[in-house]
Amino acid sequence: MTNTVWQPLESSRWLQGDQSIPCDQSIPCYICKSANSRDAEYCHDCSAPMALARQAAGQHLPPGMIAVVGASGVGKTVYLGLLMDMLSRQTERMQFSARGAFSVNLQQTTISALAQCQFPSKTCNEPDRWNWVYCQVRRNASSPTIELIMPDMAGESILEEMDHRNTYRVIKEVLKKSSAALVLIDAGQLCDGDQGQDYFAMKILSYLSEVEPSSKHGWSERPIALVFTKVDQAEVCRDDPAGFAKTHAALLWQLCQQRFSNYRFFAASVVGACAWHESATQGRRRVPLRVEPRGIIEPFEWLMEQTIGPKKWRPFALSK
Ligand SMILES: Nc1nc2c(ncn2[C@@H]2O[C@H](COP(=O)(O)OP(=O)(O)OP(=O)(O)O)[C@@H](O)[C@H]2O)c(=O)[nH]1
Ligand SMILES: [Mg+2]
Ligand SMILES: [Zn+2]
Protein backbone atom coordinates (compact mmCIF):
# COMPACT_ATOMS: atom_id res chain seq x y z
CA MET A 1 0.00 0.00 0.00
CA THR A 2 1.28 3.47 -0.80
CA ASN A 3 0.55 6.33 1.60
CA THR A 4 -0.35 9.67 0.07
CA VAL A 5 1.84 12.50 1.23
CA TRP A 6 0.92 16.15 0.68
CA GLN A 7 3.91 18.14 -0.42
CA PRO A 8 3.41 21.92 -0.64
CA LEU A 9 4.55 23.30 -3.95
CA GLU A 10 6.26 26.51 -2.92
CA SER A 11 7.18 27.60 -6.36
CA SER A 12 8.08 31.10 -5.23
CA ARG A 13 11.02 29.61 -3.35
CA TRP A 14 12.65 28.79 -6.66
CA LEU A 15 13.25 32.45 -7.04
CA GLN A 16 15.62 32.47 -4.09
CA GLY A 17 19.19 32.66 -5.17
CA ASP A 18 18.31 31.82 -8.75
CA GLN A 19 20.87 33.75 -10.73
CA SER A 20 19.00 33.09 -13.97
CA ILE A 21 16.19 35.44 -12.95
CA PRO A 22 16.88 38.89 -14.28
CA CYS A 23 17.28 41.42 -11.48
CA ASP A 24 14.45 43.50 -12.85
CA GLN A 25 12.00 40.63 -12.18
CA SER A 26 12.82 40.06 -8.53
CA ILE A 27 13.02 42.26 -5.46
CA PRO A 28 14.61 41.42 -2.08
CA CYS A 29 12.37 41.41 0.99
CA TYR A 30 13.31 44.37 3.18
CA ILE A 31 13.17 42.22 6.31
CA CYS A 32 14.85 38.91 5.39
CA LYS A 33 16.46 39.75 2.02
CA SER A 34 14.94 36.72 0.23
CA ALA A 35 14.29 37.32 -3.45
CA ASN A 36 10.61 37.67 -4.34
CA SER A 37 8.84 38.29 -7.59
CA ARG A 38 8.15 41.95 -8.25
CA ASP A 39 4.39 41.60 -7.91
CA ALA A 40 4.46 39.54 -4.68
CA GLU A 41 2.31 40.99 -1.92
CA TYR A 42 4.08 39.20 0.95
CA CYS A 43 7.55 37.69 1.20
CA HIS A 44 7.41 33.95 0.48
CA ASP A 45 9.92 33.34 3.24
CA CYS A 46 9.06 35.56 6.22
CA SER A 47 5.59 36.90 5.19
CA ALA A 48 6.54 40.55 5.65
CA PRO A 49 4.70 42.84 3.22
CA MET A 50 6.70 43.49 0.07
CA ALA A 51 5.28 47.03 0.15
CA LEU A 52 8.08 47.77 2.65
CA ALA A 53 10.73 46.89 0.10
CA ARG A 54 9.00 48.88 -2.62
CA GLN A 55 8.64 51.86 -0.30
CA ALA A 56 12.28 51.63 0.80
CA ALA A 57 13.58 51.28 -2.75
CA GLY A 58 15.00 54.51 -4.01
CA GLN A 59 15.53 55.93 -0.53
CA HIS A 60 18.85 57.59 0.00
CA LEU A 61 19.29 55.77 3.32
CA PRO A 62 17.65 52.47 4.37
CA PRO A 63 14.81 52.96 6.90
CA GLY A 64 15.52 52.13 10.53
CA MET A 65 13.33 49.82 12.59
CA ILE A 66 11.83 49.91 16.07
CA ALA A 67 10.64 46.60 17.55
CA VAL A 68 7.45 46.69 19.62
CA VAL A 69 7.21 43.62 21.81
CA GLY A 70 5.14 42.35 24.72
CA ALA A 71 2.81 39.53 25.76
CA SER A 72 -0.57 39.05 24.14
CA GLY A 73 -3.09 41.51 25.55
CA VAL A 74 -0.49 43.88 26.97
CA GLY A 75 -1.79 46.69 24.75
CA LYS A 76 0.66 46.87 21.80
CA THR A 77 -1.96 47.49 19.12
CA VAL A 78 -3.84 50.15 21.07
CA TYR A 79 -0.62 51.87 22.11
CA LEU A 80 0.90 51.92 18.63
CA GLY A 81 -2.34 52.94 16.92
CA LEU A 82 -2.80 55.86 19.30
CA LEU A 83 0.88 56.82 19.10
CA MET A 84 0.59 57.09 15.30
CA ASP A 85 -2.57 59.16 15.64
CA MET A 86 -1.10 61.52 18.22
CA LEU A 87 2.14 61.99 16.29
CA SER A 88 0.34 62.72 13.05
CA ARG A 89 -1.86 65.38 14.71
CA GLN A 90 0.83 67.40 16.48
CA THR A 91 3.83 69.26 15.13
CA GLU A 92 5.43 70.82 18.21
CA ARG A 93 7.45 67.84 19.42
CA MET A 94 8.26 66.29 16.05
CA GLN A 95 6.85 66.03 12.56
CA PHE A 96 5.46 62.69 11.56
CA SER A 97 3.83 61.28 8.46
CA ALA A 98 2.84 57.77 7.39
CA ARG A 99 4.20 56.51 4.08
CA GLY A 100 2.15 54.19 1.91
CA ALA A 101 -1.55 53.46 2.29
CA PHE A 102 -0.80 50.27 4.25
CA SER A 103 0.80 52.36 7.02
CA VAL A 104 -2.49 54.03 7.87
CA ASN A 105 -4.35 50.78 8.70
CA LEU A 106 -3.18 50.45 12.30
CA GLN A 107 -4.07 54.04 13.19
CA GLN A 108 -7.41 53.79 11.40
CA THR A 109 -8.43 50.47 13.02
CA THR A 110 -7.49 51.66 16.49
CA ILE A 111 -9.10 55.07 16.29
CA SER A 112 -12.31 53.74 14.69
CA ALA A 113 -12.62 51.13 17.45
CA LEU A 114 -12.00 53.67 20.24
CA ALA A 115 -14.50 56.08 18.66
CA GLN A 116 -17.12 53.34 18.99
CA CYS A 117 -16.18 52.72 22.63
CA GLN A 118 -14.40 49.49 21.78
CA PHE A 119 -10.85 48.20 21.74
CA PRO A 120 -9.39 46.89 18.47
CA SER A 121 -9.36 43.12 17.99
CA LYS A 122 -6.50 40.93 19.06
CA THR A 123 -3.76 40.71 16.41
CA CYS A 124 -3.82 37.49 14.36
CA ASN A 125 -0.86 35.16 14.75
CA GLU A 126 -0.17 34.96 11.01
CA PRO A 127 2.49 37.54 10.02
CA ASP A 128 0.75 38.34 6.73
CA ARG A 129 -2.18 39.71 8.77
CA TRP A 130 -0.09 42.14 10.83
CA ASN A 131 -0.14 45.88 10.35
CA TRP A 132 3.16 47.52 9.55
CA VAL A 133 3.86 51.22 9.81
CA TYR A 134 6.36 52.85 7.49
CA CYS A 135 6.77 56.49 8.47
CA GLN A 136 8.87 59.60 8.19
CA VAL A 137 9.86 61.53 11.28
CA ARG A 138 11.79 64.74 11.71
CA ARG A 139 12.34 67.09 14.58
CA ASN A 140 11.38 70.24 12.70
CA ALA A 141 11.19 71.63 9.20
CA SER A 142 14.93 72.29 9.01
CA SER A 143 16.18 68.94 10.37
CA PRO A 144 16.85 65.79 8.30
CA THR A 145 14.04 63.29 7.78
CA ILE A 146 14.29 59.77 9.20
CA GLU A 147 12.47 56.80 7.72
CA LEU A 148 11.19 54.23 10.18
CA ILE A 149 9.45 50.85 10.10
CA MET A 150 7.42 49.49 13.03
CA PRO A 151 5.42 46.25 12.88
CA ASP A 152 2.50 45.45 15.19
CA MET A 153 3.35 41.81 15.88
CA ALA A 154 1.08 39.37 17.72
CA GLY A 155 2.05 38.61 21.31
CA GLU A 156 1.35 34.88 20.91
CA SER A 157 3.68 34.68 17.92
CA ILE A 158 6.38 36.54 19.83
CA LEU A 159 6.08 34.06 22.71
CA GLU A 160 6.23 31.13 20.27
CA GLU A 161 9.43 32.51 18.74
CA MET A 162 10.96 33.05 22.20
CA ASP A 163 10.16 29.49 23.23
CA HIS A 164 10.97 27.81 19.90
CA ARG A 165 13.58 29.71 17.92
CA ASN A 166 12.99 30.19 14.18
CA THR A 167 9.25 29.47 14.36
CA TYR A 168 8.67 33.00 13.09
CA ARG A 169 11.60 34.09 10.97
CA VAL A 170 10.10 37.55 10.58
CA ILE A 171 10.27 38.17 14.35
CA LYS A 172 13.88 37.09 14.55
CA GLU A 173 14.82 39.36 11.64
CA VAL A 174 12.92 42.34 13.05
CA LEU A 175 14.63 41.94 16.42
CA LYS A 176 18.02 41.60 14.77
CA LYS A 177 17.62 44.66 12.58
CA SER A 178 15.86 47.03 14.96
CA SER A 179 17.91 49.89 16.34
CA ALA A 180 15.67 50.27 19.38
CA ALA A 181 12.84 48.48 21.17
CA LEU A 182 9.62 49.29 22.98
CA VAL A 183 8.94 46.53 25.49
CA LEU A 184 5.39 46.73 26.85
CA ILE A 185 4.51 45.31 30.26
CA ASP A 186 1.02 45.17 31.79
CA ALA A 187 1.17 47.19 35.03
CA GLY A 188 -2.40 46.23 35.95
CA GLN A 189 -1.49 42.54 36.05
CA LEU A 190 1.67 43.18 38.05
CA CYS A 191 -0.39 45.18 40.57
CA ASP A 192 -2.74 42.24 40.90
CA GLY A 193 0.24 40.08 41.84
CA ASP A 194 0.39 38.22 38.50
CA GLN A 195 4.10 37.68 37.83
CA GLY A 196 3.50 36.40 34.28
CA GLN A 197 4.37 39.83 32.88
CA ASP A 198 7.69 39.87 34.74
CA TYR A 199 8.64 36.48 33.29
CA PHE A 200 7.56 37.44 29.79
CA ALA A 201 9.58 40.66 29.84
CA MET A 202 12.58 38.67 31.07
CA LYS A 203 12.17 36.22 28.21
CA ILE A 204 12.11 39.05 25.71
CA LEU A 205 15.21 40.71 27.14
CA SER A 206 17.06 37.38 27.28
CA TYR A 207 16.14 36.77 23.66
CA LEU A 208 17.39 40.24 22.72
CA SER A 209 20.68 39.74 24.49
CA GLU A 210 21.18 36.47 22.61
CA VAL A 211 19.96 37.50 19.18
CA GLU A 212 23.26 39.08 18.19
CA PRO A 213 25.64 38.35 21.05
CA SER A 214 28.79 38.87 19.00
CA SER A 215 27.70 42.12 17.37
CA LYS A 216 29.61 45.20 18.43
CA HIS A 217 26.36 47.14 18.56
CA GLY A 218 24.24 44.42 20.15
CA TRP A 219 21.20 44.90 22.33
CA SER A 220 23.26 45.47 25.44
CA GLU A 221 23.87 48.96 24.04
CA ARG A 222 20.78 49.66 21.97
CA PRO A 223 18.08 51.79 23.65
CA ILE A 224 15.18 49.91 25.19
CA ALA A 225 12.06 51.70 26.47
CA LEU A 226 10.29 49.52 29.04
CA VAL A 227 6.71 50.78 29.04
CA PHE A 228 4.27 49.84 31.79
CA THR A 229 0.85 49.90 30.12
CA LYS A 230 -2.68 50.32 31.53
CA VAL A 231 -1.45 52.55 34.34
CA ASP A 232 -5.03 53.81 34.69
CA GLN A 233 -5.37 50.55 36.63
CA ALA A 234 -2.08 50.93 38.48
CA GLU A 235 -1.87 54.36 40.05
CA VAL A 236 1.22 53.43 42.04
CA CYS A 237 3.14 53.08 38.75
CA ARG A 238 2.19 56.42 37.21
CA ASP A 239 4.63 58.77 38.90
CA ASP A 240 7.52 56.41 39.49
CA PRO A 241 7.74 53.64 36.88
CA ALA A 242 11.35 52.77 37.80
CA GLY A 243 10.39 52.40 41.48
CA PHE A 244 7.42 50.29 40.40
CA ALA A 245 9.73 48.04 38.38
CA LYS A 246 11.99 47.56 41.38
CA THR A 247 9.15 46.48 43.64
CA HIS A 248 6.73 44.76 41.24
CA ALA A 249 9.00 43.36 38.52
CA ALA A 250 12.16 42.57 40.43
CA LEU A 251 13.44 39.94 37.97
CA LEU A 252 13.17 42.33 35.05
CA TRP A 253 14.79 45.11 37.07
CA GLN A 254 17.77 42.92 37.93
CA LEU A 255 18.21 41.64 34.39
CA CYS A 256 18.24 45.18 33.04
CA GLN A 257 20.93 46.18 35.48
CA GLN A 258 23.07 43.17 34.68
CA ARG A 259 22.89 43.06 30.90
CA PHE A 260 21.75 46.40 29.45
CA SER A 261 23.27 49.83 29.55
CA ASN A 262 20.66 52.02 27.85
CA TYR A 263 17.13 51.48 29.12
CA ARG A 264 14.43 53.52 30.82
CA PHE A 265 11.08 52.74 32.43
CA PHE A 266 7.92 54.59 31.36
CA ALA A 267 4.25 54.57 32.37
CA ALA A 268 1.48 54.82 29.77
CA SER A 269 -2.26 54.40 29.40
CA VAL A 270 -4.66 54.97 26.58
CA VAL A 271 -7.91 55.24 28.46
CA GLY A 272 -9.06 56.97 31.61
CA ALA A 273 -11.34 54.16 32.70
CA CYS A 274 -12.85 50.92 31.41
CA ALA A 275 -16.05 48.99 32.07
CA TRP A 276 -17.24 45.46 31.38
CA HIS A 277 -19.79 45.03 28.61
CA GLU A 278 -21.81 41.89 28.04
CA SER A 279 -23.38 41.06 24.70
CA ALA A 280 -24.95 37.94 23.24
CA THR A 281 -22.63 37.91 20.23
CA GLN A 282 -19.28 38.87 21.74
CA GLY A 283 -19.66 37.74 25.35
CA ARG A 284 -18.08 39.69 28.21
CA ARG A 285 -15.42 42.18 27.19
CA ARG A 286 -13.70 45.32 28.40
CA VAL A 287 -14.77 48.58 26.80
CA PRO A 288 -13.09 51.97 27.12
CA LEU A 289 -15.24 54.59 28.86
CA ARG A 290 -13.15 57.54 27.76
CA VAL A 291 -9.91 57.95 25.81
CA GLU A 292 -7.41 59.77 28.01
CA PRO A 293 -3.88 59.23 26.65
CA ARG A 294 -1.08 59.42 29.15
CA GLY A 295 2.66 58.95 28.55
CA ILE A 296 2.15 57.73 24.98
CA ILE A 297 4.66 59.90 23.10
CA GLU A 298 7.43 60.05 25.75
CA PRO A 299 8.90 56.54 25.24
CA PHE A 300 9.02 57.00 21.47
CA GLU A 301 10.56 60.45 21.80
CA TRP A 302 13.21 59.11 24.17
CA LEU A 303 14.06 56.27 21.78
CA MET A 304 14.47 58.72 18.93
CA GLU A 305 16.78 60.87 20.99
CA GLN A 306 18.83 57.92 22.15
CA THR A 307 19.15 56.40 18.73
CA ILE A 308 19.65 59.52 16.76
CA GLY A 309 21.23 61.86 19.25
CA PRO A 310 19.55 64.59 21.31
CA LYS A 311 21.14 67.53 19.52
CA LYS A 312 21.12 66.50 15.94
CA TRP A 313 18.72 64.04 14.39
CA ARG A 314 21.03 61.93 12.30
CA PRO A 315 19.86 58.92 10.28
CA PHE A 316 19.46 55.65 12.16
CA ALA A 317 22.59 53.59 12.56
CA LEU A 318 21.19 50.33 11.26
CA SER A 319 22.65 47.12 12.50
CA LYS A 320 23.33 44.51 9.85
N1 LIG B 1 -7.40 49.74 31.29
C2 LIG B 1 -6.75 49.72 30.12
N3 LIG B 1 -6.88 48.66 29.32
C4 LIG B 1 -6.22 48.67 28.14
C5 LIG B 1 -5.39 49.76 27.74
N6 LIG B 1 -4.84 49.46 26.53
C7 LIG B 1 -5.32 48.23 26.21
N8 LIG B 1 -6.15 47.74 27.18
C9 LIG B 1 -6.80 46.42 27.23
O10 LIG B 1 -5.91 45.46 26.73
C11 LIG B 1 -6.52 44.72 25.70
C12 LIG B 1 -5.50 44.25 24.70
O13 LIG B 1 -4.98 45.34 23.98
P14 LIG B 1 -4.24 45.10 22.59
O15 LIG B 1 -3.67 46.39 22.15
O16 LIG B 1 -5.14 44.40 21.63
O17 LIG B 1 -3.10 44.10 23.05
P18 LIG B 1 -1.93 43.47 22.17
O19 LIG B 1 -0.69 43.58 22.97
O20 LIG B 1 -1.92 44.07 20.81
O21 LIG B 1 -2.36 41.94 22.10
P22 LIG B 1 -2.05 40.89 20.91
O23 LIG B 1 -2.59 41.47 19.66
O24 LIG B 1 -2.75 39.62 21.31
O25 LIG B 1 -0.56 40.72 20.89
C26 LIG B 1 -7.59 45.65 25.13
O27 LIG B 1 -8.59 44.94 24.48
C28 LIG B 1 -8.06 46.34 26.39
O29 LIG B 1 -9.00 45.53 27.07
C30 LIG B 1 -5.27 50.88 28.63
O31 LIG B 1 -4.58 51.88 28.40
N32 LIG B 1 -5.97 50.80 29.80
MG1 LIG C 1 -2.26 43.36 18.94
ZN1 LIG D 1 11.14 38.19 3.94
By most ligand atoms within 8 Å of CB, the mutation choice from 230, 232, 292 for ligand 1 is 230
- Neighbouring-strand partners of residue 133: 150
SS3 category, 292:
strand
Q: What average pLDDT does the segment 203-218 reach? A: 84
Could you tell me where in the chain the CATH 3.40.50.300 domains are found? 64-308
Helices (H) and strands (E) in the chain, counts: 11, 11
- Name the residue with higher pLDDT: 252 or 142: 252
Q: Is the pLDDT of residue 297 over 90?
A: yes
Q: From the CB of residue 92, how many other CB atoms can be counted at a distance below 10 Å?
A: 6
How many whole angstroms from 45 Cα to the centroid of ligand 1? Answer: 29
Burial of 281 (0-12, 13-18, 19+ CB in 10 A): exposed
Name residue 147's beta-bridge partners.
136
Say how far apart CA 313 and CA 125 lie, in whole Å.
Answer: 35
Enter the pTM of the model.
0.90
Average pLDDT over residues 182-204: 95
pLDDT bucket at 312, cuts 50 / 70 / 90: low
Give the residue from 280, 271, 228 showing the smallest Cα distance to 118. Answer: 271
Among 3.40.50.300, 2.40.400.10, 3.10.20.30, 3.30.930.10, what is the CATH number of 64-308?
3.40.50.300
- State the number of CA atoms in the 13 A half-sphere of 244 facing the CB: 28
pLDDT for residue 84: 96
Contact call for residues 182 and 67 (beta carbons, < 8 A): yes
SS3 of 165, please? coil
The binding-site residues of ligand 1, defined as CB within 6 angstroms of any ligand atom, are: 70, 72-78, 119-120, 122-123, 154-155, 229-230, 232-233, 269-271, 274, 286
